[in-house]
């Protein structure tokens, strides 16, 4: 659990607290903040560093990673997804450590045939074990403009946001359940666009129309505020506002609204997959 005082920071005052804490989340510059790590030129930094595009064609996708690693923090990215018939494509924004026992926090955006909605796929891995999927539709067209996708990660919980609205909460229940929480491995921020034709769209039944390639997703406004130390004990005592942020009553209402109206899959309620009962971290308390 977190060291220091336990307190709730209402979402409405978070920007002010971040400024007071000296960790303002002003958008950075892609030239300074990331490395394009694969794609043979299919990833491009534009606009003096304000915009980054990732493209996919039949030969390859592309991706980038942050120069810094973080242990706890808040991470925002503005993304405009692949427009039109994007069946078989996956665009991502996620945090991950390295190795077979890695930790990971995922946003994946599963394309679809023209006129059909995107699936926003979320997952949480701890010590190499994932399988904690929740999926959503959005209440807007994510290809028409940029929208902000955010991850907040602190010692007590992980929150997923879309345009400031919480869509998912994953709590630290390690003490009660023995399920490892993400608390010791520093993670980088990653993004990619890649070919998932075999499974992404209706289980692979809708194939990619490669005549429409290249498929391009656009990224801007990366804001990463977190503990960049490799010392887990030091990061556990960070004083960033993200260390104490929780959902207030208004945010909890919004979370419930999204999950009631826009969630299309929740592993915790998948009785076919978990015939002997939901995984222990799904407990409500």
**What DSSP string describes 28-87?**
--HHHHEEEEESTT-EEEEGGGTEEEEEE-SS--EEEEESS-BSSEEEEEEEEPPPS--T
Residue range(s) defining the domain that contains residue 221: 28-275
* Banded model confidence at residue 285, pLDDT cuts 50, 70, 90: low
Query: What's the alpha-carbon Rg for the chain, to the nearest Å?
Result: 18
**Whether the Cβ atoms of residue 62 and residue 43 lie closer than 8 Å to each other:** yes
pLDDT confidence of residue 233: 85
Distance CA 275, CA 97 (A): 31
**Edge-first strand listing for the sheet containing 147-153:** 43-46, 51-56, 215-226, 73-80, 147-153, 157-162, 165-171
The CA distance from 213 to 138, in Å, is 24
| Per-residue pLDDT at 2 exceeds 60 | no
Which pLDDT tens digit goes with each residue over 158-214?
999 999 999 999 999 999 999 999 999 999 999 999 998 776 666 767 788 899 999
Question: CB of 236 within 8 A of CB of 147?
Answer: no
Residue 39 lies in a domain: yes
> Is residue 105, in this structure, part of any structural domain at all?
yes
Are 122 and 133 contacting, i.e. CB atoms less than 8 angstroms apart?
A: yes
Domain presence at residue 118: yes
Active site residues: 104, 108
C-beta separation of 84 from 68 below 8 A: no
- Structure confidence at residue 204 (pLDDT): 63
Q: What is the model's pLDDT at position 12?
A: 37
Q: Does residue 85 lie within any of the structural domains?
A: yes
Residue 246 lies in a domain: yes
Question: Which burial class, exposed, middle or buried, applies to 182 when counting CB atoms under 10 A from its CB (0-12, 13-18, 19+)?
Answer: buried
Average pLDDT, the chain: 88
List of residues 6+ apart from 15 with CB closer than 8 A: 25
What is the C-alpha to C-alpha distance for residues 125 and 255, in angstroms, rounded to an integer?
A: 21
| Per-residue pLDDT reduced to its tens digit, 234-284 | 898 888 999 999 999 999 999 999 999 999 999 999 999 999 999 999 986
pLDDT of residue 202: 66
Considering the domain boundaries, does residue 151 fall inside one?
yes
- Say which CATH number the domain at 194 has: 2.60.120.200
How many domains are there within the chain? 1
Confidence label for 8 from pLDDT (cuts 50, 70 and 90)? very low
The tens digit of pLDDT for each residue in 130-166 reads 999 999 999 999 999 999 999 999 999 999 999 999 9
**Average pLDDT for residues 39-58, to the nearest whole number?**
97
Angle among Cα 261, 75, 239 to the nearest 5 degrees reads: 115
pLDDT score of 89: 93
**Pairing outcome for strands 119-125 and 263-266:** unpaired
pLDDT digits (tens, 9 = 90+) for 102-127: 999 999 999 988 778 899 999 999 99
User: Given pLDDT bands bounded at 50, 70 and 90, which one contains residue 28?
Assistant: confident
Inside any domain, residue 17: no
- Is 152 contained in some domain? yes
Per-residue model confidence (pLDDT) at position 232: 83
């Amino acid at each position: 659990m977190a060291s220091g005082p336990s307190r709730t920071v209402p979402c409405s005052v978070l920007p002010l607290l971040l400024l007071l804490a000296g960790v303002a989340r002003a958008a950075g510059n892609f030239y300074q903040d990331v490395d394009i790590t694969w794609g043979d030129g299919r990833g491009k930094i534009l606009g003096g560093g304000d915009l980054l595009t990732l493209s996919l064609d039949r030969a390859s996708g592309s991706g980038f990673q942050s120069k810094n690693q973080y242990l706890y923090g808040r991470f925002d990215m503005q993304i405009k997804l692949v427009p039109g018939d994007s069946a078989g494509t996956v665009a991502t924004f996620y945090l991950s450590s390295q190795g077979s026992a890695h930790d990971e926090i995922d946003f994946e955006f599963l394309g679809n045939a023209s006129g059909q909605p995107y699936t926003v796929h979320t997952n949480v891995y701890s010590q190499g074990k994932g399988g904690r999927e929740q999926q959503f539709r959005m209440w807007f067209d994510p290809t028409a403009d940029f929208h902000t996708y955010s991850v907040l990660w602190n010692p007590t919980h992980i929150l997923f946001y879309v345009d400031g609205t919480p869509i998912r909460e994953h709590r630290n229940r390690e003490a009660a359940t023995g399920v490892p929480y993400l608390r010791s491995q520093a993670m980088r921020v990653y993004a990619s666009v890649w070919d998932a034709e075999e499974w992404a769209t209706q289980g692979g039944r809708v194939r990619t129309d490669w005549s429409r390639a290249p498929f391009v997703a656009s990224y801007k406004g990366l804001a990463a505020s977190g503990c960049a130390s490799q010392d887990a004990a030091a990061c556990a005592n960070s004083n960033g506002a993200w260390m104490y942020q929780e959902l207030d009553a208004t945010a909890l209402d919004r979370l419930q609204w999204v999950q009631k109206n826009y969630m299309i899959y929740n592993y915790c309620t998948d009785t076919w997959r978990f015939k002997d009962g939901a995984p222990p971290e799904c407990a409500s308390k």
